[in-house]
Amino acid sequence: MDQFENARNVCHIFLNGIKNKGKITVEDVAKVVENPLLKQQYPKVDFEELIAQLESDLEIYSGNATELIDKNVKPWLSQYKADIDWELWNRYRMYLKAKDGSFPVDNLDDLTDKILDKCANPKKSGSWDRRGMVVGNVQSGKTANYTGLINKATDAGYKLIIVIAGIHNALRSQTQTRIDEGYIGRDSADFIQRQKSVKVGVGEYSSETEIYSYTSSDHKGDFNRNIASRINVPIGGKSPTVLVIKKNKSILENLILWLNQFAAENGKGDRKILNVPVLVIDDEADNASVNSGTELDVRTINRLIRTLLNLFNQNTFIGYTATPYANLFIPSGWSENLETMVKDVRLKVGEDLFPRDFIVNIPPPSNYIGAAQVFGFENDQTGEELEGLDIIRLAEDQEPYFPVKINKENSDDLPDDIPDSLREAIKAFILTSAIRRVRGHHKKHNSMLVHVALRVAWIDRIAWHVNEVVRDYSRQIKSQQGTLLDELERLFYNDFLPTTNEVLNNLSYNDPKIKKHAWEEVREELLQAVTKIQVRSVHGTKNTRYLEYHGIEEINYSDYENGLSVIAVGGNKLARGITLEGLSVSYYLRTTRMYDSLMQMGRWFGYRPGYVDLCRLYTTEKLINWYRHITMATEEMRADFDEMAANNDRPEDFQLKVRTHPGMLMITSVTKMKDHEKIRVGFSGKLIQTYVFEKSQRIVDNNYEAFKALLNRLNAPDEKESNRGINALVWENIDAEFIGDFITTYQTDYLRNDILQSYIESQNQKNKLKTWSVALILNSGKTITTKGELAGKEVQDHTFNWKNGSLTGGLPARNLFDGINEMRVKGKKNAILDKRARMIDLNLPSNSSEQAIKNKRNEKEQPLLVIMPLDPRVSPDLNPSKPLIGFGLIFPDFEGEESYEYAARPMQKDFEDEFQDDDDQSENE
C-alpha cells in the first residue's frame, strides 16, 4: 500500500473517533490532516489531494435495506446481543478498517445484524429450519457481507458454516481465500497441505477462537473425505468449522456421505445430525441451485442441497444473489416424502429452496457503478429515468471474424484475425493503464475482459491473436516507430478527454482522482503500461498440447504485490467465475436470452474509484438495448419489493413479479419458470413502437412489403399539415384486421408481435379496438423517392426524416405528430435513444396540456397506428431505394386496466411440466 493510501487510512481512524461523538465537519477533516506527525510520517503525500479524498469518502452513503419477513420469524438478537462476545466480528471489523479506512463498516454492522436477526437463534433448543435470501447487486460486495454475517453467526453460536461458492474451481478458490482472510485468519492451503499455521487477514488480530477449515484455497482444495478424516475436528465441537465448496454433484455427495456418519435416526425414521447449528450460504443462489426439473424428478444440485440441509435438525439456509429472477419462481409447495439415493445410501430430500422466511434487499452505496449507471433506463410506467454514463462503444464489425452464433456447423472456422473494434479496445486498455499510472495507480490491479465465445478452441485462438496485437503494440511504443502512437494520441483527444469531461459533469458522486491530463503526461507512461500487460486464456483445459496459446495459468491477483495488468479472454469462467480486479475495458459480444445470465455476465459492474471515466464497454446495439430493458425491469422489481416491504408483506403470500420483455428476452431458463403464472395485462393508454432496427436487407424488404400491402388495402387518405410543416396522410375507421395483418407480417426482434396481436384480438371480442386511425408521416429531411400507387394516390419524391434509426421524442404532443423531437445522444458513438414520442392529431390549441390531449383522445376511443418511413442510408449495406419502416401503436385508456404482461410466482403449483431447458450455459471444456 502506497503512502497516500496509508495516510488516508490513518486519517479515517482519527475521523472515526470524532464520528462517535457527532457529525464530522470539513474543519474536522482539515484538522486531522494538518497533524504534524502525519506530515512527518508521509512526506510524499499531497495533503490537499488527501483532504479532497477524505471529504469524498465521507459523502458516500448507502440506503436502508428493506425486508420481507414471514410471521413465524421472531426477532431475538436485541435480547441477547449484550451477552454475546463479538470476538470474531470485532477482529473482522478492525481488519476491514485497516485494509480500507473508507470502508463503511458501520453500515455493514447494521446490515449483518438485520440479517442475523432473521436467522434462527443458534441457542434455541429443538428442531428448526430457516430459509432466506439476500439480494444485492452484481459485484457490489456480497462476499464482504456474508463474511461479516459468518463471523457474527459464529459469535452467536453457529457451529458449522458451509459456503457453496459457484460452479467453477476458480471462484471457489477465490472465495476460500476471502474466507481465510476475513474469517479463519490462517492460510488454509498451508495449514491443510503443509501443516503450517500462516496468519493472514484477521489472523493478525488476537483471538481465542480457533476456526478449522475442511477445504483450502488451493485450486484442488475442495472437500475431500480423506482430508476431512485426517483433520479430525469434531462437527459441533468447541471449535467452529467451515467448508467452502463448489456446486458439484460428486463434491456434494461426498460431503453428505461424510456428514451422514454423524447422524442418527430420529423417531420418524429420518437421519439427523442433532444440535449442531449449521449456517449454509449459497453464493450465486440463482445459478444451478434452482430446480429446473419437476417436483418429483428434481435436478441434481437442487436435490443434493436440500438433502444436505435435511441432515441437520437445526439449519439456516441463505441464498445470496444479484439476479433473483429464478428464485422468485420457486413454488412454495413440495412433496414431503421425497427420497433420494446418494450413491448407495437412501436419504430424505427436504423442502425446496424458496426463501419462505425472509428476503433482504440491499441497496448499493452511492459510489457503486451498476447497470443503471452504465446503460441508463427509462420506465415509461412511472416516468423515472436515468441517463447512463458515456462509456459504451459500439462493436458492430465482428463479422466475419466472430459469427453471431458459434455452433457445430462453424465451430472449426476459427478467426484468422480480430476486428478493428477489438484492436481499438486494446488501445483503450493501454491508454487506461497509462492514465491510471499518472493518477498514482501504479500498484493497482488493472484488467480487461474479452468475452466473445464459449468454445475452448475459439477462446484459445482469440487469446493468441490478442497477444500478438499486444506484442506488436509494445514493440511500436518501445521503438517509437509505426502508427500506434499517433492512433493512441487521436483516441486520447477524440475519446478519452471528452469522456472524462462528461463523467465529471454527470457523475452522481464526487471522485477527486478523476481529472483531465495532458497527453505528454500520458505518453510518458505508455511503455511501462504496455510492458506490464499479460494476456491470459481462461478456460478449463489444462493440457496445452493442442492449444495455440499457452498463457492459461490461473489469474491470482494476490501473487502480484505491485498489481497485475491482465487481458482475460474467456467464456463462462469469466461470466460466473473469478472477479476481475480493476476491470476497466470490456469487449463483450456473447448473447444469451436470459435476464439473469446477461446481468451476471456484466462483470463491468462494481466500484471504480478514480477511473470510472476510463472504463469502456465495447458491445453491440442489440445487447445495449437488451441491457437497458433488463435494467428497467430490475429497477421496477426492486421498487415493487420496497413497496411490499412497506406493506409488511411476506415472501410466501405475495406474487413477486418481473416485467417480461416485448422481444426475444426471457427472464431466466424456461425450465426454471415452468411454474410461473403470466399476469396478462393490456396496453391501456400506452405507446408501443419500434425504436431499433435490424440492419438486414431481408428484414427491411419484408417490412417494406408489409407496409405496401397495408396501404394498398386502404382508401384515399386525407392530407394533414401541422404548424411545423410536418406532412402526413391519415386514414380513419380502418378495420382491426388490416392492422393485425400488418403487425403479424412485420419482423423485429424488439417487439413481441404475438402479444400485441393477441391483445388486439382479445379487445375486439370486448367490442374494443375494432376500428383504427392510420397515419403515414412524410417528414422533411433527406430525400428518397418511393414510386408507386397508394390506393389510387400517386406518391413520389416524398421526403422522409432519418433519426439514426429511431423514433424519438420527449415533448408533449400538441398537434399532429408534434412529439417528434431531436434525439438525445449520449456521446459521439453511443446513441441511447428516448422512446417517448407521442404522435396524436387532436386539433387542439398548441398550449393544451398533455392530460387534455389524453382526454380528447380517449373520447374517440380509437387507437392509432403511426407509420414512419426512414432513410436506409444509415447503413451502406442497405438498399437506398427502400426505406426502413418504423411504426408506433397508440392505445386509448381503458378504465381499470393494467398495462403490461408480467411473469409471477404462482400461489399454488398447478402447472404441467411443459417447457424444456433452454439455458445453454455449458462451456466446451
Per-residue b or e along 453-486, where b marks 16 or more CB atoms closer than 10 Å to that residue's CB: bbbbbbbbbbbbbbbebbeebbebbeeeeeebee
Q: Report pLDDT digits (tens) over 475-496.
A: 999 999 999 999 999 999 999 9
Q: Taking each helix axis from N to C terminus, what angle separates 753-764 and 736-745, rounded to the nearest 10 degrees?
A: 170
Closest CA to 688 of 630, 617, 751, 739: 751
Q: Report pLDDT digits (tens) over 188-202.
A: 999 998 888 899 999
Please report the pLDDT score of residue 838 as a whole number. 27
- Binned at pLDDT 50, 70 and 90, residue 692 comes out as low
Judge: domain 60-361, CATH 3.30.450.40: no
Closest CA to 363 of 144, 65, 102: 65
Residue range 283-303: average pLDDT? 82
Sort residue 677 into left (φ over 0), alpha (ψ -120 to 50) or beta: beta
CA dihedral 562, 565, 569, 571 (to 10 degrees): 50
CATH 3.40.50.300 residue ranges of the chain are 60-361
Per-residue b or e along 640-658, where b marks 16 or more CB atoms closer than 10 Å to that residue's CB: bbbebbeeebbbbebbbbb
Q: Report pLDDT digits (tens) over 641-658.
A: 887 888 788 887 655 555
Q: Is 362 helix (H, G, I), strand (E, B) or coil?
A: coil
Please report the pLDDT score of residue 251 as a whole number. 96
Looking at 140-154, 256-270, 649-663, which range is the least confident one? 649-663
- Binned at pLDDT 50, 70 and 90, residue 783 comes out as very low
Closest CA to 697 of 885, 877, 886: 877
Q: Taking each helix axis from N to C terminus, what angle separates 87-99 and 142-156, rounded to the nearest 10 degrees?
A: 150
Side-chain half-sphere of 315: how many Cα atoms within 13 Å?
Answer: 21
Read out DSSP for 480-532?
T-SSHHHHHHHHIIIIIHHHHHHHHHH-SS--TT-----HHHHHHHHHHHHHH
Please report the pLDDT score of residue 114 as a whole number. 96
Q: Which residue has 491477483 as its cell numbers?
A: 557
Instruction: Give the Cα separation of 332 and 329 in Å (integer).
Output: 9
Residue range 449-456: average pLDDT? 88
Side-chain half-sphere of 775: how many Cα atoms within 13 Å?
Answer: 22
Quick count: other Cβ atoms within 10 Å of Cβ 562?
A: 10
If you ran DSSP here, which 8-state letter would residue 386 be given?
E
Instruction: Give the Cα separation of 856 and 852 in Å (integer).
Output: 6
pTM for this one? 0.73
If you ran DSSP here, which 8-state letter would residue 165 be given?
E
Residue 513 · residue 437 · CB < 8 Å: no
- Binned at pLDDT 50, 70 and 90, residue 915 comes out as very low
Please report the pLDDT score of residue 841 as a whole number. 32
Instruction: Give the Cα separation of 372 and 227 in Å (integer).
Output: 46
